[in-house]
Structure 1
């Protein structure tokens, strides 16, 4: 059954521009309202109950969609990168955008974005907070090293940011008061951000053990280079792995080559870098750890393998051997290491799917508990 009315919403922080389209009659109704879920809901409820609404994914998040869904309004969120736009259309207004969304929804041309639950979004927020903390710490360390280098000071040992290095940093002083204050301020910031990152890691470890992705996290940690924070980030960013296959997960993460082919000519370029940037970054970083030859699990990896079932363990060991062999093959062929690492990351995406999807699929097939299934003692 087709919806009689399709509603496009151009959502901003303070306002919403709405457009309701009835394809059967061609009737269009527009409105501009405050960005208040109850206000938007009351306007949509003026239309038939089978109306369907859509708005683009953006900084306003999922709150409006959740509110509409709870109150019985069929609402989806469109992926902005998948929306069709005419090359010759150089006029962009909120009214045009809302009408375009309504038309594409009526034609079934909207690529929907998965709407996570509030609990799932909270886990994602925690993972992304750690990412920002890690970036801030890296930047603070770079500033401190740059200040020392400008004044001719360089730590003599190759390993940095361990206890001896920190003790060496505390022994450095400058005659000029301005430089001394700047140095002590940068050093204090590094230590504060490092302590903040450690608190976040401890919180993630606590949450990961009891969240809905606990079994997926344990499975992903069986891959070399995938520590707790990496597994946690991959699990919460992808969410439902059963949406993909081993072939499509790489495309979702932007790890497949771009292509421009026409006629008899086929041309492939760099990876698309589409989809989830954070998850792609985690896989690329983990792929570097697959380079050393893999013979047998070490102590840490063996402990992780003991936490999963036999099938997951077998799949993880195959993945580690396969990734190591791929690296060796690339090295023998003289492949550029950056490209080789990207190729390994793409394969790791498939292996992550092979580990996570069966667990989630089995969980979906478990019948829900009901009191009717309980027999009297």
Structure 2
């Protein structure tokens, strides 16, 4: 029938998928439930009257349904779950109701879609996230060692740990009980194993960064203070490899969750903590990099090597970032702002400078 179109909302889980469809000509609402797999919901959507426009919320099931539907000719969207409007008084939640809510909001144009990365971006991003997971596991393993020693009243006398000297000190620790000695040896072995894993993944990422698909942007990001190859690659991939989808630097800062929350009503307006939306990994890396800008601007040998063969306008942006962020750091500290707030403010502006460098001609 001419002019017929079907709108479909899907609530997708690992072992089930609930679907709700609205026919624009008749207004009829149809529902269906499917088991695991993609074939059944794709076939059902293809059987609906007219072309189908469908959506589902981003989650742990990934983008497999999106790619399968797109290949089958279905206009599919992946929706940001945190921005799906929901009634504050709605206390009944079910998969069936969620699917119906999605299709009605899709028809009304009230949903926010997320950018689906190409498969190669997603694969490389999985490796950077694996490196970050290994880093967190290593930190936990090291904490277990230090806490066990603390329970036995042993504290390393110097401030810097996990150096060569610290490892020699650890090797001299003896325990009277054989069980404690076995546990300590196991904890040290866990630290060594995770350290080797982290180094192996970091080496693979360093090789991956030189790929011609990523290196032009990664090389530009490395020209900034506090950002080396792994950080540059991770931030680039967390943004989907496409910086130009953000029209302004402020839009990138908002996407990263580095902007303050705002509660405004009538004449009152109050700002709170940052929103913490978007990529947690990218936000953490930017905050860590922003710590470097509390020192006076300078060009050391390491940064000079990273900036070699970069265009002059990229170096100018990097230099402006150092000057600007150092000024922001000093100004906010002079006003008595807590150090963490100062660093987050610098991270937000650093994201803007990185955007300018990545999108420059």
What is the TM-score with the length of structure 2 in the denominator?
Answer: 0.96
| 1:90 alignment partner, SS class | coil
Q: Distance in 1 between matches of 2:325 and 2:306?
A: 18
- Does residue 1:62 correspond to 2:56, yes or no? no
Corresponding position of 1:311: 313
Residue pair 1:3, 1:51 contacting (<8 A) in 2 also: no
Structure 1 116/3 Cα, relative in aligned 2: closer, same or farther at 3 Å? farther
Written as runs of structure 1 = structure 2, the 5 A alignment for 1:173-252 is: 173-210=174-211, 212-239=213-240, 240-244=242-246, 245-252=248-255
- 1:276 pairs with one of 275, 279, 287: 279
Question: What SS does the aligned partner of 2:273 have?
Answer: strand
Do the aligned residues in 1 keep the contact of 2:5 with 2:25 (CA within 8 Å)?
yes
SS in structure 1 at match of 2:269: coil
Residue 375 of structure 1: aligned partner: none
Alignment of 1:116-127 (within 5 A): 116-127=117-128
Q: CA RMSD of the aligned region, Å?
A: 1.5
Counterpart contact for 1:133–1:193, Cα < 8 Å: yes
- Between the aligned partners of 1:344 and 1:214, the Cα distance in structure 2 is 25
Counterpart for residue 130 of structure 2: 129
- Contact kept in structure 1, 2:258 and 2:283, CA below 8 Å: yes
Q: Which runs of 5+ in 1 are unaligned?
A: 363-377
Shift of 1:3: 7.0
For the 8 Å contact 1:293–1:325, the answer to whether it is kept is no
The alpha-carbon distance between structure 1 residues 194 and 211, as it changes in their structure 2 partners (threshold 3 A), is farther
Cα offset for 1:317?
Answer: 1.4
Paired with 1:308 and 1:38, the residues of 2 have a C-alpha distance of 49
Q: Deviations over 1:75-118 (max 9, x none)?
A: 01010011011112111111111111111111111100111111
Is 1:47 the counterpart of 2:38 in the alignment?
Answer: no
Contact 2:23/2:49 (<8 A) preserved? no
2:7 is aligned to 6
Q: How many angstroms does 1:352 deviate by? A: 1.4
Does residue 336 of structure 2 align to residue 338 of structure 1?
no
Other structure's SS at 1:187 match: helix
1:293 matches 2:296 = yes
Task: Tell me how far 1:150 sits from its aligned partner.
Answer: 1.8
1:302 pairs with 2:304? yes
Could you tell me whether the CA contact under 8 Å between 2:4 and 2:25 is conserved in 1?
A: no
1:114 aligned counterpart, secondary structure: coil
